[in-house]
């Protein structure tokens, strides 16, 4: 799902994309924002993003229950993280590529 809002201690934060199970989706029937993070939270880096901003977002998503955090850079390279740190590939979607083709738009 694109632009997924998450209620956090610092207000509502939206990740660029997410994957959420039916069970977690059902826990948010009418709320405008999730109270528990989707299992996979994805951020797509842009030139205005800082390393500190991404580290803060990653920590926030894990604090709210995310299982994995994925980061895509401007060239389509993917980085995957679990709560313990970097992982070589997604454990939830192990066949997801480490490089994706980005569409201009």
CA quadruple 39, 95, 104, 86: dihedral, nearest 10: 60
- In the block, residue with structure tokens 């993280």: 81
With respect to residue 65, please indicate whether it lies within any of the assigned structural domains. yes
Average pLDDT over residues 39-51: 92
Contact 27, 21 (CB under 8 A): no
Count of domains observed in the chain:
1
Give 62-85 pLDDT, tens digit per residue. 999 999 999 999 899 999 999 999
pTM of the model: 0.88
Residue with tokens 């709560």: 83
Residue 33: give its domain's CATH number.
3.90.1570.10
Average pLDDT over residues 37-51: 92
The answer to whether residue 50 sits within a structural domain is yes
User: Residue 72: beta bridge partners?
Assistant: 44, 78
* Average of per-residue pLDDT values in the chain: 88
Q: Does residue 16 lie within any of the structural domains?
A: yes
Which whole number is the average pLDDT over 33-47? 90
The domain containing residue 52 runs over which residues? 2-87
Domain annotation covers residue 11:
yes
């Amino acid at each position: 799902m694109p632009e997924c809002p998450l209620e956090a201690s610092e207000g509502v934060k939206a990740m660029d994309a997410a994957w959420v199970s039916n069970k977690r989706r059902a826990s948010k029937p009418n709320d405008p924002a999730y109270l528990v993070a989707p299992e996979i939270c994805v951020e797509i880096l842009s030139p205005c993003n800082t390393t500190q901003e991404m580290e803060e977002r990653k920590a926030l998503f894990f604090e709210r229950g995310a299982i994995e955090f994925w980061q895509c850079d401007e060239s389509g390279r993917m980085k995957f993280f679990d709560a313990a740190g970097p992982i070589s590939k997604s454990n939830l979607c192990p066949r997801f590529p480490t490089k994706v083709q980005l569409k201009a738009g």
